[in-house]
Structure formats: structure tokens, C-alpha cells
Chains A and B, each alone.
Chain A
Amino acid sequence: NAGVMQNPRHLVRRRGQEARLRCSPMKGHSHVYWYRQLPEEGLKFMVYLQKENIIDESGMPKERFSAEFPKEGPSILRIQQVVRGDSAAYFCASSPPSGGGNTEAFFGQGTRLTVV
């Protein structure tokens, strides 16, 4: 059973370009979380999605950032018009249909975004 797969592992974008980060959850998992880790800082929650629904986006920046988890295919975190401050590691986690807080989430290896 493959783990959470994120791609690309490393992404370099020029200021003003768009970044698309992909996350394929573990088999049987229908819930996806996105976290961001700025250099030398802790992980910060961004968004929680179920198939075709955004459940909690309380950690998402109000502009330029969006996320989706379509019925088919991976979850996508999209950053438009990237700026240097977007440089960070972005981690995705997945969990099975919710048993509430008694359901562990498993993380991928992350995408390291560098904006030049």
C-alpha cells in the first residue's frame, strides 16, 4: 500500500508564475489536509478537504491560494502569482473516512517550493 504521494518533490518558480502542487492520498483515504512549513518554522495548517468539498480552509491565505480535491485524481494546491515569501515546504496528509479525532493522518514527503 503506497503512502501519500506528493509531486513534484522540488519546484522552482519565478515571481509571478503559478505553482501547482499535487497530492495523491493513500488508498482508501478520502480526506486530505495541506500544511505549510516555512524555513525554520513549524507546520501550519492550511486546508482540509474531502472529495469535491472544502471542509475547513481557515488556514489558507485569503488571496492567490486555492485547493481542490476532485472526484477523480489528486488533490491540487494552487498558488497564483507566487512571491518569495511563498518559498516553503508544503505537506499533504490523508486519512480514511472520518472516525473523528481517533483517525490518524499520514503525511507525504512534501513539495519544496522555491520562488526566485
Chain B
Amino acid sequence: DAKTTQPPSMDCAEGRAANLPCNHSTISGNEYVYWYRQIHSQGPQYIIHGLKNNETNEMASLIITEDRKSSTLILPHATLRDTAVYYCIVRPTLFSGAGSYQLTFGKGTKLSVIP
């Protein structure tokens, strides 16, 4: 089962920042937070990941709270092409046998960017 909780859906106006929250209250110190998205029927697309510090790349920013129990993915200027299901996933830093290698996808947040 997924170890994260996300709202099922969100709307965002085009050009505005999209802030997608994720709760991972049971995360351990040796687990990363990953974000992927899936645009209708396509393969999941890697966005960003982090351990403790905030991270930024050309796609998005990841803000992780100090206690690491929640995080927020920020798309700074949402466009219509950002409409997708966004998945927040926790993943161990070290693989330790069957079940530890996979990315466990939950239901995600369906983000709709509105013109």
C-alpha cells in the first residue's frame, strides 16, 4: 500500500503556481520523496525527488517540511500541458530485498489547469 496521502483532485488557473500537497507521516529517515506525473494514457514522467533539503529543477520545486512528514510540489507557472495525475511516492535509500525496489504508486492528485 502507498505510504502517502494526497488530495484526489485540484484545480489551478493557467499561469498561476500549482501547489500539490502530500502527507507522508510515517516516512523514515532513510526514505526519499519522489514525484511523478502521468499525462493521460502516457508513461509516468519523473519530476523531482529529495531527501531532506528543498530541491528545484527546470520542472518544479519540492518543499519538504523540517519533520519530513509532508511535502509540497510547486509548479511555478502552470500551463494547460501540466494537466495530469501527480503521484507522491516514498522510496528507501537502500534496497533491502523484495518489495523495496519498486515505486509504489497510489491514486495521486488529478491536477486540472484551467484556462
Contacts and interface: CB of A to CB of B under 8 A. Distances in A.
Given A45-B102, A55-B101, A107 B45 contact: yes
A108 interface: yes
B46 to A, nearest CB: 5
B91 interface: yes
Contacts of B104: 45
18 contacts: A42-B108, A43-B105, A45-B102, A45-B103, A48-B102, A56-B102, A91-B43, A93-B44, A98-B95, A100-B93, A101-B94, A102-B32, A104-B46, A105-B46, A106-B46, A108-B43, A109-B43, A110-B43
Interface string B24-49: 00000001101000100111111001
Interface of B: 31-32, 34, 38, 41-46, 49, 51, 91-95, 97-108
Nearest to A55: B101
Contacts, number: 67
In this complex, the interface size class of chain A, counting residues with CB under 8 Å from chain B, is 20 to 34
Contact of A101 (B43, B91, B97, B99): B91
A40 to B, nearest CB: 11
Contacts of B93: 100-102
Contacts of B97: 56
